[in-house]
Amino acid sequence: MTPLELIADREGERLDQFLARRVPGLTRSAAQRLAEEGAVLCGGSAVKKNRRTAPGEVYTVALPDPEPIEAKAQEIPLDVVYEDSDVIVVNKPVGMVVHPAAGHPDGTLVNALLYHCGNSLSGINGKLRPGIVHRIDRDTSGLIIAAKNDPAHLSLAGQLEDHSLYREYHAVAVGNFREDSGTVDAPLARHPADRKKMAVHPEGKRAVTHWEVLGRYPGYTYLKCRLETGRTHQIRVHLASLGHPLLGDVVYGGKKPVKGLAGQCLHAKKLSFLHPRTGERITVECPLPDWFEAVLRRLGG
């Protein structure tokens, strides 16, 4: 069992909610089971699963050791932008799935990372998602960070939670924006009719996207988008909710891809985080891929 210390930061929060929020990959039901098994302590004593937290309380959680990793290592080329003993940042190509799932048992970023990093990947997210802190869609290119050990994983997950992990995307949206910049603050949840899609929904989780116009073309706008939160399909759904879906994103109403574009025109261009070990601010960027540059040239005539 791996002990983990967490400091409560909210008044009256349910214990299972607190643990699920602070421990990556831990569900509320799993948190309840840990409490029932006596694996959650406060002040040296086991606590009940229905306990309410108070700011400053220190909880010790005995997490079960991660299951053996079942995803297999595959020799797949990686465009490594930054790497040290704690983290690795990769420029993911369009078409690569992040981790194995139904329909994609191999050929994923995880398979490539297992070959590149060997056993040096965090185990918090289980046997099929080792090292994975956040995800980007299969048809989105660009920067994604993975953790090489559990302390690094927890640090990066905390930065996602408190918004200190900076993520910047470049995109081409359909239509012309009247303003030069703006913010979409609209909650997202699973689409009520199609569970593979997301939708703006009043009972969803808060989602915030900041956008800025970088270029204007006949019928299209080139944007920089900064994620304050990181919900599934966030940029795609938020821009579609404005009436400006991404070029090529037919799932959310975008026009069919132009020549050379497979999927939505979206690239994770810049990433900035506090190093889990040193606390130093690390900022990495990658250029627009050739296909994205070609799209901009084509739109500009």
109 within a domain of the structure (yes/no): yes
Q: What is the domain range of residue 97?
A: 67-155
283 within a domain of the structure (yes/no): no
Which residues make Cβ contacts (< 8 Å) with residue 212, sequence separation at least 6?
180, 181, 223, 224, 225
77 within a domain of the structure (yes/no): yes
- Same domain for 295 and 243: yes
- Same domain for 295 and 175: yes
CATH of the domain at 59: 3.10.290.10
284 within a domain of the structure (yes/no): no
pLDDT (tens digit per residue) in 38-92: 999 999 899 998 899 999 999 999 887 655 546 889 999 999 999 999 999 999 9
pLDDT (tens digit per residue) in 182-225: 999 999 998 887 877 899 999 899 999 999 999 999 999 999 99
- Same domain for 120 and 16: no
- Same domain for 110 and 185: no
Structure token digits, residue 255: 């026009």
CATH of the domain at 230: 3.30.2350.10
> So what's the pLDDT on residue 2?
61
Tally of structural domains, the chain? 3
Structure token digits, residue 254: 């975008």
- Provide the whole-model pTM: 0.76
Answer for the pair 98, 132: CB distance below 8 angstroms, yes or no: yes
- Same domain for 257 and 193: yes
The size of the chain, in residues, is: 301
pLDDT (tens digit per residue) in 130-146: 888 998 999 999 999 99
How far apart CA 182 and CA 10 sit, in angstroms, is 30
- Same domain for 295 and 179: yes
- Same domain for 142 and 258: no
- Same domain for 79 and 144: yes
216 within a domain of the structure (yes/no): yes
| Catalytic-residue membership of 16 | no
- Same domain for 76 and 43: no
79 within a domain of the structure (yes/no): yes
Catalytic residue among 137, 139, 185, 290: 137
**Residue in this structure with the two tokens 């821009």, named with its chain if needed:** 239
Coil, strand, or helix at residue 58?
strand
User: Of 128, 155, 182, which closes a domain?
Assistant: 155
Phi then psi for 34, rounded to 5 degrees? -60, -45
Task: Please give the C-alpha separations between residue 153 and each of 63, 123, 190, 210, in angstroms, as whole numbers.
Answer: 14, 9, 26, 26
Q: Give the 3-state secondary structure of 141-190.
A: EEEEEEECCHHHHHHHHHHHHHCCCEEEEEEEEECCCCCCEEEEECCEEE
281 within a domain of the structure (yes/no): no
pLDDT-above-90 percentage for the chain:
69
